[in-house]
Structure 1
Amino acid sequence: MEKDNEVIKILLIEDDPNIAGLIKYYLNSYKKYSFAVDWAETAERGIEKLSLANTYNLILLDYYLPEMNGIEVLKIIKSRNIDTLVIMLSSVKEKEVMSEVLKLGATDYYMKEDIIGPLLPVIVASAIEKENLKKQIEKDKGEQSQKIEAIQEIVITVSHEINNPLAAIKLATNILLKKDLSPDVKTYIKIIKESTDRIEQTVLKLRELKSDQIVPYVGKLRMFDLSNKPGHQQSESKE
């Protein structure tokens, strides 16, 4: 299987060169993605690399480092508003440490003996894929919100232009219905009145539109599904 073109950039903060070598080996052996591993032997050097050019997709952080532990490094990362994913690696399983690490925003916490192997690149890739999906969902929500705001502005403008003549038509039909007219004429006037009432209700539903509920219409045309639910009727919109 050919590797995807995307290169995943990893910052590895690990003081043991043997462990660092194993991590690089397993990441580079992965067939789905290409990994570019930037190794920092100390916490200080790792923080420096992050400060200079943070283009990393994920940080693999050793908990037991000579000058400071992983929690201290995480606190520095958090204080600098660096939102890069962090997976903490440790040689000892400590529940309190794990809890603190996750509270500080780490993606996960693993024992080195459990993760350093063929499973490592799978876990790293999965964490990045989940983060990318999360960002895409947030982006889509933002775009949808902007779209709805734009639609609501148009609806408010159009409804204002519709409501004035609509009010005049309703007033006229109410007056006519009180007149001594033939039954046939009154029937037609009632049809006009019922139609104006439906138009008025549709305008109200459009003004209450909260979510972008678009359904296929004809060809590439789509429409808002307002149906008979509260806040739902039909209004054309292009894709």
Structure 2
Amino acid sequence: FDLILMDYFLPGQNGLEITRALQERLLRIPVVFLTVNKDFDLAVEVMKLGIEDYLVKEEISTPVLPKTILNVIERQKLREQLTTLEISQKRLEAIQELVMKITQEIRLPLDAMRDNVERLLQQHETDNLKTYLGIIRDNLQRIEKKIVKLKDLKTDKTVQYIKDIRMFDLS
């Protein structure tokens, strides 16, 4: 349901009791409370329960009810979007934290390897050694570029990899 129009006077129990029961069941459906008369104390009580709006039944025939319903539904959609964004933000922050830890762990050995390869390239003149060290250096540079992309990761979007496995696209 998008919305519940709750009357205060119901057979067997009142709208407040039903609203409390809905909340105990953690149902997050917006409720607009309807009553016959303007009762300030009742209005305050239902608003404390988190009711979206409080209307007197005589207002139902006016444009107030349709506007109220549209506003309540729109606020609910905005709350849902905000919740989705907050979850995505927390997920992205967790991913970024993981990436930072991984890159820190990889960075030191890579730096040491790169420095040693550069020293060997400068000191030794053997062609085969230069060829293989050049290949190692090129691969180290590729890894370093991937680490930079990991550190700059700004989204939690993934791409299809194999069957049900998804991974981050760092290409």
Query: Does TM-score exceed 0.5, indicating one fold?
Result: yes
Match of 1:8 among 4, 10, 13: 4
Which residue identity is paired with 2:88? Q
Structure of higher RCO (CA pairs closer than 8 Å, 6+ residues apart): 2
Deviation (angstroms), 1:36: 7.3
Correspondence list, 1:114-133, <5 A? 115=63, 124-133=68-77
* Structure 2 residue 133 is the aligned partner of structure 1 residue 189: yes
Q: Structure 1's 36 and 137: CA in aligned 2 closer, same or farther, altered over 3 A?
A: closer
Q: Mind listing any 5+ residue stretches in structure 1 that lack a counterpart? A: 13-34, 63-88, 90-110, 228-239
More strand by share: 1
Normalised TM-score (structure 2): 0.68
* Divergent runs of 4+, >6 A: none
Instruction: Work out the percentage of aligned pairs sharing the same amino acid.
Output: 26
SS in 1 for 2:119: helix
Aligned partners of 2:69 and 2:44: how far apart in 1? Answer: 25
Aligned partners of 1:141 and 1:36: how far apart in 2? Answer: 26
* Structure 2 residue 32 is the aligned partner of structure 1 residue 54: no
Match of 1:177 among 121, 126, 137: 121
Correspondence list, 1:99-138, <5 A? 112=62, 115=63, 124-138=68-82
Deviation (angstroms), 1:145: 1.4
Normalised TM-score (structure 1): 0.51
Deviation (angstroms), 1:149: 1.7
Which residue identity is paired with 1:42? K
Report the aligned-residue RMSD.
Answer: 3.4
* Structure 2 residue 162 is the aligned partner of structure 1 residue 215: no
